[in-house]
Amino acid sequence: MRLALKPGLLPVWRDNDTLQIGIDPRRAVAITGIGRVAALIGLLDGSRDRQAVISAARAHGIAADTADRLISLLAAAGVLDDFPAGTLRTLPDALRTRLAPELATTSLAHGDGDGGARALARRSATYVRVYGAGKVGACIATLLAAAGIGHVACRDTGTAFAADLAPAGLCAADIGEPRSAGAARAVGRSAPETRTDDDTRRPDLAVLAGSHGPELAAGLLADDVPHLTAAAGEAIGIVGPLVIPGRSACLRCLDMARAERDPAWPMVLAQLIGRQLSTPACDCVLATSVAAQASAQVLTFVDRGGRADAVTNGTLELVLPDWQWRRRTWHRSRVAAAAARVLGPAAAAGPRRRRAPASGTWTENPASSGQCRS
Ligand SMILES: [Zn+2]
């Protein structure tokens, strides 16, 4: 383990005896009584383990117990990283340098004391499949790869048009080429170590960028694949919901809620399948904003071990021209809830309900038949 002050926080002196680590009061910590042992701060550069820091401090006239107490104080204040040396050694220098801001950010944002090592391990072991490699989807793929997601595949059978281009996604050379291949090249430009092959393995998470037919989400539900939607059009961006099969509102739940408010919604929805405007109202800034928000939610899901509360049973929505993200709450459909009451909590746990006793009536229950599958 290697001790270092969190690299995302700048240490500054408030007076001769008080060190402030970080500038913004929402992150900063001030430690007093540190004037005579200030030399120890300079030793916390990630090159020494705890014992080596204490030994080096002794050379500066700092007693071992004093150094030990200060290290403990800094750790308790949440401004110290203890990065596993083994993880450091496995990272090539260029990759370590490129990912340093990613690790500094996640370590600070989540208050992790390991310098982002656990998040890095989770990200590098994660396989995300992005369905739709257009203006939003290709940007999501490049952002996730740049953030350290180890395997990002794009699935899209379409051809790239000028309207699909965005600075973080497809480029002019991709026009007329398959969008999925263009997205893979874009990933290669920003994160060459990332796998982009679209194999048949079940992904850890799917992102549905743009519009897709209901069978895609139904298949992901059946396969127990968590999936996040991200779309932009009509000068509105929407990220979410994140569907965690069996545990949160699914896309069907949202459609049922919309149909409750608008009886014509099913008819409108049926006419959307397979249709796309030639000139969608989705400019580069909107597409990139949606891609960034979706990527942030994916990274939260990965870093937090399967949780992304902002988009679980909710959508984040950006309506131009305000550019202010707002959250809308959605609930699992009452149909699903009614079925859960009939069958018990175990049966309500999504696709696992298939393992319910044979006498279970999930699929035969009139209240659930053909309805919410989450
Ligand atoms: Zn549902």
CATH number at residue 85: 3.90.930.60
Cross-strand partners of 82: 3
The reply to whether 131 and 48 lie within a common domain is: no
pLDDT of residue 259: 94
Distance between Cα 120 and ligand 1 center (Å):
32
Q: Is the residue at 14 inside a domain?
A: yes
Distance between Cα 148 and ligand 1 center (Å):
31
pLDDT: which is higher, 83 or 258: 258
Q: Is the residue at 368 inside a domain?
A: no
CATH code where residue 283 lies: 3.40.50.720
Q: Is the residue at 341 inside a domain?
A: no
Residue 360: pLDDT over 50: no
The reply to whether 11 and 153 lie within a common domain is: no
Distance between Cα 210 and ligand 1 center (Å):
20
**Which contiguous run of DSSP H or E holds residue 117?**
helix 117-124
The reply to whether 268 and 138 lie within a common domain is: yes
Query: Strand, helix or coil at 363?
Result: coil
Q: Is the residue at 182 inside a domain?
A: yes
Distance between Cα 170 and ligand 1 center (Å):
33
Q: Is the residue at 19 inside a domain?
A: yes
Q: Is the residue at 205 inside a domain?
A: yes
Asked if residue 23 lies in contact with residue 12, where contact means CB atoms within 8 angstroms, the answer is yes
Distance (Å, rounded) from C-alpha 39 to C-alpha 85? 23
Q: Which of 39, 60, 43 is nearest to 52 (CA)?
A: 43
User: What are the tokens at 367?
Assistant: 């209240």
Distance (Å, rounded) from C-alpha 214 to C-alpha 256? 13
Q: Is the residue at 104 inside a domain?
A: no
Distance between Cα 290 and ligand 1 center (Å):
23
The reply to whether 251 and 183 lie within a common domain is: yes
pLDDT: which is higher, 35 or 347: 35
The reply to whether 272 and 323 lie within a common domain is: yes
* pLDDT per residue as tens digits for the range 141-194: 999 999 999 999 999 999 999 999 999 999 999 999 999 999 999 999 999 999
Distance (Å, rounded) from C-alpha 284 to C-alpha 288? 6
pLDDT band at residue 372 under the 50/70/90 scheme: low
* pLDDT per residue as tens digits for the range 217-248: 999 999 999 999 999 999 999 999 999 999 99
CA atoms within 13 A on the CB side of 198: 16
The reply to whether 170 and 299 lie within a common domain is: yes
The reply to whether 189 and 83 lie within a common domain is: no
Question: Which of residues 44, 67, 91 is at a domain's end?
Answer: 91
The reply to whether 293 and 224 lie within a common domain is: yes
Summary mean pLDDT of the chain:
88
How many domains does the chain fold into?
A: 2
332-347 average pLDDT score:
54
Burial class (CB in 10 A: 0-12, 13-18, 19+), 24: exposed
Q: Is the residue at 108 inside a domain?
A: no
Distance between Cα 372 and ligand 1 center (Å):
4
Distance (Å, rounded) from C-alpha 144 to C-alpha 171? 18
78-87 average pLDDT score:
84
Task: State the distance between the two ends of the chain, measured CA to CA, in whole angstroms.
Answer: 43
The reply to whether 33 and 148 lie within a common domain is: no
Distance between Cα 244 and ligand 1 center (Å):
10
φ, ψ of residue 218 to 5 degrees: the values are -60, -40
- Ranking 5-9, 147-151, 182-186, 311-315 by mean pLDDT, the lowest is 5-9
The reply to whether 64 and 205 lie within a common domain is: no
The reply to whether 319 and 175 lie within a common domain is: yes
Domain extent for 232: 125-329
pLDDT of residue 355: 34
The reply to whether 14 and 139 lie within a common domain is: no
Residue 70: pLDDT over 80: yes
Distance between Cα 333 and ligand 1 center (Å):
6
Handedness of CA 14, 18, 20, 25 (dihedral sign): negative
Distance between Cα 326 and ligand 1 center (Å):
22
Distance between Cα 332 and ligand 1 center (Å):
5
